[in-house]
Amino acid sequence: MNEKRPYNRGLILAVLMIAAMSGALMQTSLGTALPTLMTAFNIDLSTAQQATTWFLLVNGMMIPLSAYLANRIPTKMLHIVSYVLLLIGISLSMFTPERQDMWWLFVAGRIVAAMAVGIMMPMLQVLIINMYKPEERGTAMGLMGLVVGMSPAIGPTLTGWILNKDHNILGLTLSSDWRSIFVIPFIIIIIATILAPFLLKDVMETKKLKLDVTSLVMSVAGFGLFLWGFTNVAAMGWSDFGQVILPIVAGVLLLAAFAWRQLKLPVPFLDIRVFAKKEFTISTVALLLATMAMYGVEMMLPTYLQNIRGLSTLDSGITLMWGALFMGFMSPVAGILYNKVGVKVMCYFGFGILALGTVPYVFLNATTPTIVISVLYALRMAGIAMVMMPLTTAAMSALPDEKGADGTAANNTLRQVSSSVVVALLTSVVQNVINNNTPSASLKASDSIAYAGQMMNASMDGFQTAFLISLIFAVLGFIFVFFMKSNKEAN
């Protein structure tokens, strides 16, 4: 039940944001480390990306369950359990032996961590809705965006800095080994775990709800099959029926049956009726497009910088650093501006900046100055910050408060699943373009220089195609703004 004594909103939000920082770092910190992991475990790009795609997918699959857990388990207990779960997941990945046959353990750790993050992140939004009045939520969501937005954005830079050389922080030695990229998130979540019993309160009232196991199984199987098909595209190609087409189709059918079941249940596992509210649906779709446009470049760029440009992990991280800083600066500003000018104006500017910043990426080559890449990346992340929290706030404000947990679960589920799909999709696109344009082995034997040049061109074609798809997402997002209301909050 809800604790009757007053609680300090600021202290609760502080603990939640500390924990969210650790979870958010886990989402994208591997981006810069992929080439290092490929070497350490002797795996290819498509296999290495599984650590990201499966994290994002499991994160998305857990979010519908988080709505049930938020109503069933006291706030404090739920968070403490999720923090401990995140500690276990980080530990599994961090201590995986460097062997190709042990890669599954690394991915298993990512899956366990994703389960924890899939509970923590949506709960942060739900608690903000429950603790703050509608007129205060823009600022609170902006502060949340400072952590939830900036942490994954700064992840690649932080990873590059760690992998460049050994570091000594407050007496703690961080070696340049890939395991060290997990140390900082590990320490952060330990701090949150220690503070949680003393500072967190049971903000939401609990209810005796029955878990619909059938819906849970259908959603997990549906999303799992759907992504499994996409992750197999890189290795198998779109013509493979058994491991690509069949899983995707089966996943779509299962998800359709899942949706139909939710409409029939008196108390649905995931209340998709929230999409009957037009403003919620439009804001959510626009948010998905912004998310896919962000990940489409953010997850591909470090590999381009290291494999094509030959940059070190540190230099590739520094190249992306200004984007993280711009996003961190703009997130709270966007929250304040949302309260003043409304979501529609914010999104026109945000998606416009995002699209303009993405256009030059389609024409990147092996000699594009890194300063140009860095400036464009900063511009893109500023545009992302201008739309991300305002769209989230607008979507949640379109629903009554009692539907906040359901709306958050639906919104975040689609966002995380779209993230995992776009990473798997673009990885497969890059890999397929490279495979289709790889020069013959005979050329390698007769003219190694010409072979290297053609391989470079094949890789560039792959990355340019991925960036073009990201541009399409940004343009579609701009178009969707036309259908949004111009008032400050959707009602």
Q: Tell me if 286 sits within 8 A of 260, measured CB to CB.
A: no
Last residue of a domain, one of 268, 284, 315: 268
pLDDT digits (tens, 9 = 90+) for 24-57: 788 767 777 878 888 889 887 778 877 877 887 7
Q: Mark whether 241 and 317 lie in a shared domain.
A: no
Q: Tell me if 320 sits within 8 A of 161, measured CB to CB.
A: no
Could you tell me which residues are beta bridge partners of residue 169?
172
pLDDT tops 80 at residue 18: yes
Residue 191 domain flag:
yes
Q: Which band of pLDDT confidence, cut at 50, 70 and 90, is reported for residue 483?
A: confident
pLDDT digits (tens, 9 = 90+) for 318-340: 787 788 778 777 877 877 787 77
Note the residue count of the chain. 491
Mean pLDDT (the chain) is 81
Q: Tell me, what's the pLDDT at 2?
A: 42
Last residue of a domain, one of 229, 250, 268: 268
Query: Of 434 and 19, which is predicted with more confidence?
Result: 19
Q: Tell me if 298 sits within 8 A of 156, measured CB to CB.
A: yes
Percent of the chain exceeding pLDDT 70 equals 89
Q: Mark whether 283 and 240 lie in a shared domain.
A: no
Residue 3 domain flag:
no
pLDDT tops 80 at residue 70: no
Q: Mark whether 260 and 290 lie in a shared domain.
A: no
Q: Mark whether 237 and 326 lie in a shared domain.
A: no
Query: Of 236 and 260, which is predicted with more confidence?
Result: 260
Q: Mark whether 130 and 264 lie in a shared domain.
A: no
pLDDT tops 50 at residue 408: yes
Between 102-111, 176-185, 349-358, the lowest mean confidence (pLDDT) is in: 176-185
Percent of the chain exceeding pLDDT 90 equals 16
Residue 2 domain flag:
no
Q: How far apart are CA 141 and CA 158, in angstroms?
A: 24
Taking CA 457 as the corner, what is the angle to CA 456 and CA 463, rounded to the nearest 5 degrees? 90
Residue 489 domain flag:
no
First-last CA distance in the chain: 30
Residue 486 domain flag:
no
CB within 8 Å of 332: residues ≥ 6 apart: 139, 142, 143, 145, 146
Domain count, the chain: 2
Q: Tell me, what's the pLDDT at 1?
A: 38
Residue 347 domain flag:
yes
pLDDT tops 50 at residue 489: no
Q: Tell me, what's the pLDDT at 84?
A: 94
Query: Of 123 and 213, which is predicted with more confidence?
Result: 213
Please provide the DSSP assignment of 188-235 as one string.
HHHHHHHHHHHH----SPP--PPP-HHHHHHHHHHHHHHHHHHHHHHH
pLDDT tops 60 at residue 304: yes
pLDDT tops 60 at residue 4: no
Which H or E run includes 172? strand 172-174
- Domain with 117 in it: 9-211+269-481
pLDDT digits (tens, 9 = 90+) for 141-182: 767 766 766 666 677 777 777 777 665 554 555 556 788 888
Here the CATH number for the domain that contains residue 282 is 1.20.1250.20
Which H or E run includes 428? helix 404-437
Could you tell me which residues are beta bridge partners of residue 172?
169
pLDDT digits (tens, 9 = 90+) for 218-246: 988 888 888 778 777 766 777 788 888 89
Residue 104 domain flag:
yes
Q: Mark whether 123 and 238 lie in a shared domain.
A: no
Alpha-carbon Rg for the chain in angstroms: 22
Please provide the DSSP assignment of 284-295 as one string.
HHHHHHHHHHHH
Residue 273 domain flag:
yes
